[in-house]
Amino acid sequence: MSKVVIDQPSAAHAIIGDRLDKSMDKIAHALHWVSNNSDIIVGYALNIVSAIIIIIVGMMLARFISSLVHKALKSRNIDSTVANFIAHMARYILVAFAFIAALSKIGVQTTSFIALIGAAGLAVGLALQGSLSNFASGILIIILRPFKAGEYIEVSGIAGTVETVQIFATTIVTIDNKSVVIPNSSILSGNIINYSRKSTRRIDLLIGVSYRADLAQTKDVLEKALLANTRVLKSPKIEVAVAELGDSSVNLVVRPWVKTADYWSVRFEVIEAIKNALDEANIEIPFPQMDVHTNK
């Protein structure tokens, strides 16, 4: 019985050689394809490089413009929260445009992509209609600046000092230290009274005296009581005049001018001074009375 002897090294060499031949064929085929499509490949490569450059330049430009916007807003003393928000929004919008331009450069059809973004934006806008109204109102408040942080205002029936002006709402601190958050759309939909914008304010008082009082003496007493307060301004000139003949009193308007920062403290002081001055001059301040008659 004969034995068959297999040359193992020769078989291994044959397998390796066969694999190398196949690999060389694939490489040759790939090189042939590259040679035949070199223009297309170079074009795509250039487009990809251009897209990368567009994204890099766009991001750098977005960062630069965002910084400029932030500095411009801060130079106008706009609240830092609002300035940061607007600066970041500008940056994100510019970056989005850069990515869309890059996609267009590499051949991606951005028309449908933009339409999809627009449809999504419309749906989100309808869902957040109230919030967008507050957002738009916040932008208008920033641009028009009817008030700023630290000023005393009256809006939506609330009076107080503005603490912060944010993009969706404004926070006001009332005299009794309540923090009230008011949506910006509610602020712009009504009247805005800014008590701090001007450097001076007029105190309006209505003082009633008896019909038996001497009006010339009464006016003189009132003027002296006002001028005794050093924080009452000499100009504009104070005004003391008869306003009306009431049911039980002669009513006089008393109108001194003060610095805006001194308004409330001086108002309280002059009211007390007027009461004391009228008492010292024996000028009666009438008050409502009721006469009751009984049958015996």
Q: Would you give per-residue pLDDT tens digits along the chain (296 residues)?
A: 455 444 555 666 666 666 666 666 667 666 666 566 666 666 677 778 888 888 888 888 888 888 888 888 778 776 666 677 778 778 888 888 888 787 777 766 666 666 666 766 666 555 545 567 887 888 788 778 888 888 999 998 899 999 888 878 899 999 899 999 999 888 988 899 999 989 999 999 999 999 999 999 999 999 999 999 999 999 899 999 999 998 889 999 999 999 999 999 999 999 999 999 999 999 998 876 655 666 65
- Based on its alpha-carbon atoms, the radius of gyration of the chain, rounded to whole angstroms, reads 41
C-beta of residue 84 within 8 angstroms of C-beta of residue 91 = no
Residues 293, 226: Cα–Cα separation, whole Å: 42
Looking at residue 247, the DSSP 8-state letter turns out to be S
Sheet arrangement for strand 192-194: 179-183, 169-173, 158-165, 152-155, 192-194
Closest by CA to 203, choosing from 184, 218, 222, 221, is: 222
Cα distances (Å, whole numbers) of residue 192 to 104, 169, 197, 219, 264: 48, 15, 12, 35, 20
| Tokens encoding 131 | 């919030």
Predicted local distance difference test score (pLDDT) of residue 32? 64
Residues 97, 269: Cα–Cα separation, whole Å: 62
Predicted local distance difference test score (pLDDT) of residue 173? 94
Environment class of residue 172 by beta-carbon count within 10 Å: exposed (0-12), middle (13-18) or buried (19+)? buried
Predicted local distance difference test score (pLDDT) of residue 51? 81
pTM higher than 0.85 for the full model?
Answer: no
Q: How many residues does the structure list for the chain?
A: 296
Predicted local distance difference test score (pLDDT) of residue 70? 82
